[in-house]
Structure 1
Amino acid sequence: TVYVEPEAILGESNRLREIEGEEREEVERVLKELSSAIGEHADEILAGLDAVADIDAHIAMAKSANDRSAATPRIREGHFLTVVEGHHPLLDRETSVPLTVSVGGSSGSLLITGPNTGGKTVTLKLLGLYALLLGCGAHPPAERVEYGAFTGVFADIGDEQSVEQSLSTFSGHLKNIARMLRDAREGALVLLDEVGAGTDPAEGSALARAVLDTLLDAGVVIAATTHYGELKEFAQQSGRIRPAAMEFDVETLRPTYRLIPGASGQSHALEIAQRFGIPDEVLRRAEGAMGDEVRERKRRDQEMDQALLDARRAREEAERTKAEVMEERKALQQERRELQEKYARLRERLQEEVEAAIRDAREAYRQLLEQTKHQSGGSADPVRTDALHEAKRVVERLQETETLLAPVDEPPEAFEVGVSVRIRGTGRVGEVQSIKGNEAVVLIAGKRFTVPLSRLETAAAPPTQGKPSSASASIARRRAETINPELVIRKMRAELALEALEEYLDDVVLAGIESVRIVHGRGDGVLRRLVRECLAARKDVKEFHDAPSSSGGDGVTVVHFGS
């Protein structure tokens, strides 16, 4: 195809090319100016980019930790790693079996044995990944993690064979081990999978033991796996490295992926081969080819594994039982608290009802007294006298009920008949007449009261100290509010006046009132003498005297209470 530019547009085409060239030059000029302006702030821009990258990384780690319900690690001194109920970061936490493992520190190094496909390699990878994640500030997926930073992490896991580099499986392992022996220093974490494998078992196990001894001498923390019986015996006898085994369920012929500290697990090669379909004839020939010594060692290992399995199951059952007991205990404590609250509300309501009944009965009793004191000479009205006695008995029964409802803050003491006791919170002192069950009959000022033992304390001890309960203070306050500080018995018969006086004095003492006035009048002096004799016989009366002449003189007796 030949294109011939028409002569008519030749000039315009040339002009177009010139304009395009000018455009390119202008673009290059603008870009250079912008680049130069930006270049002046290159350090700030790069620092900002690094800061944004750090923030993005931390946000990503926080989101990952939140999504995986990761644990906040506890950082301690030393070189160790403890993982409780941990999961491999690449495995689904909902389906993977949690792993509990500890290396370094007081736990020392670890030699893991057990069956193929049992989880040994995953355990090593979990330890390495957790150490690196923690070193980066990430939170690993586990219930609890404690960490003391390692000085380095070295791993020989997997097959390093390479045709291009002329490396076999064994030589690939040796290359990694040589680097560990050269670079690992004290406090480093070294992970060795199938240490010494890939060559003659006798030479491989001897080499592996020498490598472990050398690394341990250097203060390195080791987590290694093996199938070699010689290394198992080395871990059990030397005390320099702790044995552990991946659990294998001999009943189901399947691994449980649980690490059992202190165990020296078998490889269970024949059992696993059977599960993967190897014919029974082949397995019988293999078992027959094993020597007596190997079979005896396998039998001992099976017995040990079974004992450890039984012990773990017993511990888990004990932990489940303990958890159930704790739950039941919490439920009972909650039920007890609810019952106590319900009882307190009921007691308060009953207390209010009893106090209301006492006020009503006392008011009715005083109205009868007022009516009686105006009665002229002659014998008293039997009906009115009986009503007075009945009203007084009602008041006494209500007051006893009120005492029973008072709250109890301390356990009861042990009392004997004849000892002096004090009713808590009242200051009233009396003598124990008899004890039946949780109650005692106490003689106070010539009267017998039935009082719960929990409401009593020995009179030899000082009165109960401390702030009284709110319920007790409320009871005393309401009593004080309802009692008149003055009792008028003028013109009353001696018998009725004495009953009214004793009742009034009991109420005053229970209410905690410090002083009152007894208006008895002058008259022939009988009531005055009766009042003085009654006051002198009471231990709760501190002193009494005539009122000032301006307030009644010898027609009024002022009484002060106290010990």
Structure 2
Amino acid sequence: MDKHSLEVIEYYRILEILKNKCHTPMCREILSTFSPSSDFELIKDSIKETDEAKDFINNEGGLSFSSYQDMEDIIKKVKVRSVLSGEELSKVKENLSLFEEIRREFEENKLRYPYLYRSASKLKKFTDLRKEIERCIDEEGNVKDDASSELKSIRKRIRNLRQKIIEKLESLFALSTYKNMISDHVITVRNGRYVIPIKRDFISYFPSIVQDTSGSGKTLFVEPQFIVQKNNELIELKGKEEQEVKRVLTALSNRVSDRINDIETAVSIVGFLDFTFLKGRVSNEWDCVSPVFVEKKKVRIEEGRHPLLEKEKVVPISLEIGENFRVLIITGPNTGGKTVTLKTIGLFVALAQSGFHVPAKHFETGIFNEILADIGEEQSIEQSLSTFSSHMKHIVRILERCDDKSLVLLDELGAGTDPEEGAAIAQAITEYLLKKKSIVAIATHYPRLKEFAYKVEEVENCSVGFDPETLKPTYKLHIGIPGESHALTIATHLGIEKEVIEKAREILGEEHLAKEVIINKMKRDQTIIEKDKLSIEATKREIEERKEELEKLLNEIKEKRKEFLLNAKKEALKIIEDTRKRMEELLKNIPKERKVVLEEKKELEKEEEKIAEEIVSQEKKIVIDWDEIEIGDLVWIEKFGKQGIVLNKDEEEKKVQIQIGTMRVILPFEDITRKITEVEEIPDEEGKVELPTPETLPMKIDLHGKTVDEALVKLDKYLDSASLAGFPFVYIHHGVGTGILRKAIHDFLKTNPHVQRYTTDPENGGVTIVYLK
């Protein structure tokens, strides 16, 4: 995107501020080269990552990156096969621990935060390398004794030898012979060798090698002759120690080198996650919302706040461009908020397309390929360009690059030159941008552009609020109303002579004053409309909340009803089971009064039948849901004791029109007990066939799509069952088609002994109504 435009809308200033909130240098590096994207998939994923980071912070307490150690120089050393120091290896170990902690954290929460896990899952495991460094290097970066058996042995010998040397030197302090020669009872080290301080005057009396001299020259630090060999041995052991330490460090460095690609990847991932969690933290700090992206090129801001302004003092703005109009002309007094509005529009779009949340109650935008802005007063002394020339230079660039996927923001368009010519140029530029179908916001003082907005359907006026009493802007936007400069009002309050003010009004003329009156009335009307709108929105929200509560209550009632019926059925079945057990127990222990037992058995059987009937009765009372009922369904109407076919549904009244024989009725859907599906006659265990009843046999048969032979066989069987069930009439669905199946069915009905007469349904030629004998 255009860098100058991003600069003037303060996008880069925001990024600079955010750098101070980064925990890692990689995050700062990302911000240094960052810019908005126009790739929808990338933007969508980035917003999802920000959403999850914010949720993670709010739910899990965030993710700490403060323990990360900068590895840029370490990675460079490893790549050229340099040996890392103990301190550098300690930093590597700290970072490996961080990598593992991050991976483990998201492994445990991968279902809750899938987008963040997608990145964290790419972190490799470094357990073996981390443990080896921990085994060999301590917290201060020193190589441990246990790094190798050889090093452990060498250091033990060094400690023993050092102790012997110190003991021998301390024995000199106890001898009276050397009492006056030794300047202080202190053992120190010079040139890697243990020495004691001797007064210069006694050096000839003390067999030794001078290793150093004090600042005054009066004291010599000497190595007594009798410990020279011991010091030599100690230096030799230290040389071996250094060699072994270097070997350990080299081995560890090589192991780090073997994993350097994985480590670099991990560093990059941690930088990315630090950046993503920065976006989540900023969303909380700025009280942001996740942007909504739409296909249409538009911008809608609801109570948006520029992030660089104090939240407590800033007046939120609400506007929409691109839905009903594509160009917004913003007018009003200086310092009224026109420029801030332009910057807020551009900044919100840029931040959203960078994967950030925006500080607003709601923000909706299309994806723009370009954000093109000319904002602020600029002069170029080096190029001898005036304010007008500087603006025009940027306008040229904007007009060359703009198209129907561009957001264009222009501040004081046409200013800095002759007002008439400037206004003409401003209008011409606006018309050109309209032709290019860009989404445009323009801040201006020109009346010509205000009038232009009234004449062109795709252009709308907008004014920034101003309080004439306090002479201060309110910063509130009024869409649909042009702004005023309030120059005469301000001049009057500042004490300009009344005569001068009146003359100015005279020069402006009645037409101009009439416009001011109209505009003021429009503002008052809009204030009333906005209050009404807020009241309506509040009422709407209250209704929606009440609706949700009622729906929730209704669902709870339905669930409780189902639960009650289920419990009742279980209780009834339990009673039946207990009854059976009682009967079986009695039969096992039949007394002599057999007649009494048999009578009690009959009573129990009657009780069982009664309970079973109650269960059936409860099932019949169950009302099916409204959404389960479909036009054409065959249903059972308990109050009529008959079947019917659903012809129509009234969504508002929740009523159904049902055909019951030749009668059509409209009933509440609660009167429908259940749906009836076509069933086959199934022999019972004794080979008998259950007789069909009006409750079990459908009063319609669907033969649509069957061959003539198949249809007639099925119809013959169905008519037998319908006659046995005592149906006065039935419905045959055969469809319209070519008419062959309908003709065959009608011919069959003419000779069927169960048929009294038949007729085609007057409202559906694909159905025949058959009246039975």
TM bracket, shorter-chain basis? 0.5 to 0.7
Contact in 2 for aligned 1:83/1:99 (Cα 8 Å): yes
Shift of 1:233: 0.4
In 2, Cα distance between equivalents of 1:77 and 1:359? 65
For residues 344-355 of structure 1, what are the structure 2 equivalents within 5 Å?
344-355=562-573
Distance 1:537 1:343, change over 3 A: closer
Q: What does the per-residue CA deviation read over 1:125-144, in whole Å, with 9 as the maximum and x for residues that have no partner?
A: 12333455466665544443
Q: 1-side partners of 2:330 and 2:495: how far apart?
A: 29
Within the alignment, does 1:305 sit opposite 2:523 as a pair? yes
**What residue is the counterpart of 2:615 in the other structure?**
402
Tell me how far 1:251 sits from its aligned partner.
Answer: 10
TM-score normalized with structure 1 length: 0.53
Structure 1 residue 267, shift from structure 2 partner = 4.0
Amino acid at match of 2:556: E
Q: 1:465-518 deviations in whole A, cap 9, x for unaligned?
A: xxxxxxxxxxxxxxxxxxxxxxxxxxxxxxxxxxxxxxxxxxxxxxx994379x
Tell me the residue number matched to 1:331.
549
Q: Distance in 1 between matches of 2:570 and 2:524?
A: 68
Of 301, 322, 332, which residue of structure 2 is paired with 1:114? Answer: 332
CA offsets per residue over residues 497-542 of structure 1, 9 Å max, x none? xxxxxxxxxxxxxxx994379xxxxxxxxxxxxxxxxx999778xx
Match of 2:387 in 1: 172
Q: Is the 8 A contact 1:78 1:149 kept in 2?
A: no
8 Å CA contact retained: 1:194, 1:226: yes
Alignment of 1:107-146 (within 5 A): 107-133=325-351, 140-142=358-360, 143-146=362-365
* Contact kept in structure 2, 1:109 and 1:223, CA below 8 Å: yes
Instruction: Give 2:390's aligned amino acid.
Output: K
Query: 2:327, 2:441 within 8 Å by CA — same for their partners in 1?
Result: yes
Whole-angstrom CA distance in 1 between matches of 2:618 and 2:641: 25
Partner Cα separation in structure 2 for residue 86 and residue 366 of structure 1: 80
- Matched residues in 2 for 1:135 and 1:362: separation? 74
SS of the residue corresponding to residue 306 of structure 2 reads coil
**Aligned residues of 1:65 and 1:141 also touching (Cα < 8 A):** no
Which secondary structure does the structure 2 equivalent of 1:222 belong to? Answer: strand
Alignment of 1:67-466 (within 5 A): 67-69=282-284, 70=288, 81-93=299-311, 96-103=314-321, 107-133=325-351, 140-142=358-360, 143-151=362-370, 153-155=372-374, 157-160=375-378, 171-181=386-396, 184-185=399-400, 186-187=402-403, 189-198=407-416, 201-214=419-432, 216=434, 221-239=439-457, 241-247=459-465, 257-269=475-487, 278=494, 285=501, 289=506, 291-361=509-579, 394-406=607-619, 408=622, 410=624, 413-414=636-637, 417=640, 419=642, 455=673, 462-463=678-679
Distance 1:53 1:395 in 2: 76
* 1:123 CA drift (Å): 1.0
The CA deviation at 1:329 is 1.7
Secondary structure in structure 2 of the residue aligned to 1:316 = helix
Q: Report the Cα offset of residue 261 of structure 1.
A: 3.7
* Matched letter for residue 159 of structure 1: E
Structure 1: how far apart are the matches of 2:349 and 2:443? 18
Cα deviations by residue, 1:57-107 (Å, 9 ceiling, x for unpaired)? 884475145422555556677876554543323124465344344556974
Unmatched runs of 5 consecutive residues or more in structure 2: 1-259, 626-634, 645-666, 694-724, 726-773
CA spacing shift, 1:416–1:77, aligned 2, 3 Å? closer
* 2-structure distance, mates of 1:396, 1:52: 77
After superposition, the C-alpha distances for 1:337-391 in whole angstroms (9 at most, x for unaligned) are 3333333333333333333334445666788999999879xxx99x997x78876
CA RMSD in angstroms, aligned pairs only: 5.3
1: CA distance, partners of 2:690 / 2:350: 89
Letter aligned with residue 395 of structure 2: M
Partners of 1:307 and 1:313 in 2: CA distance: 10
Cα distance between partner residues in 2 of 1:53 and 1:392: 80
Once the two structures are TM-superposed, the CA of residue 172 in structure 1 deviates from its matched residue by 0.8
Cα distance in structure 2, aligned partners of 1:351 and 1:77 = 54
Residues 1:231 and 1:61: Cα distance change in structure 2 (over 3 Å):
farther
TM-superposed deviation, 1:190: 4.0
> Is the Cα contact below 8 Å between 1:124 and 1:223 reproduced in 2?
yes
Residue deviations 1:421-478 (CA, integer Å, cap 9, x gap): 9xxxxxxxxxxxxxxxx9xxxxxxxxxxxxx9655667xx6259xxxxxxxxxxxxxx
Deviations 1:100-120 (A, max 9, x none): 445569742321123444321
Deviation at 1:302, TM superposition (A): 2.3
Deviations 1:182-240 (A, max 9, x none): 56313354433233445664454334324434555566653211233222001211345
Given candidates 681, 685, 696, the residue that maps to 1:515 is 685
Code of the aligned partner of 2:389 = L
Distance in 1 (alpha carbons) for counterparts of 2:372 and 2:316: 23
Instruction: Mark the CA change 1:339 to 1:218 in structure 2 (over 3 Å): closer, same or farther.
Output: closer
Which deviations, in whole Å up to 9, do the C-alpha atoms of 1:261-293 show, x marking residues without a partner? Answer: 43333445566778xx64698599469655321
Uncovered stretches (5+) of structure 1, i.e. residues with no partner: 1-44, 422-437, 439-451, 465-511, 518-534, 541-562
- Alpha-carbon deviation of 1:309? 3.3
| 2-structure distance, mates of 1:298, 1:68 | 42
Distance 1:538 1:367 in 2: 35
Native 8 Å contact 2:408 2:441 kept in 1? yes
Tell me by how many angstroms 1:408 deviates.
2.8
* Equivalent position SS for 1:159: coil
Q: Give distance in 2, aligned partners of 1:75 and 1:231.
A: 30
Distance 1:345 1:183, change over 3 A: closer
Q: Residues of 2 paired with 1:300 and 1:347: CA distance?
A: 69
Tell me the percent identity: 30
Distance in 2 (CA, whole Å) between partners of 1:299 and 1:77 is: 41
1:80·1:150 contact (CA, 8 Å) conserved in 2?
Answer: no
Using the TM superposition, give the Cα deviation of residue 333 of structure 1 relative to its aligned residue in structure 2, in angstroms: 2.1
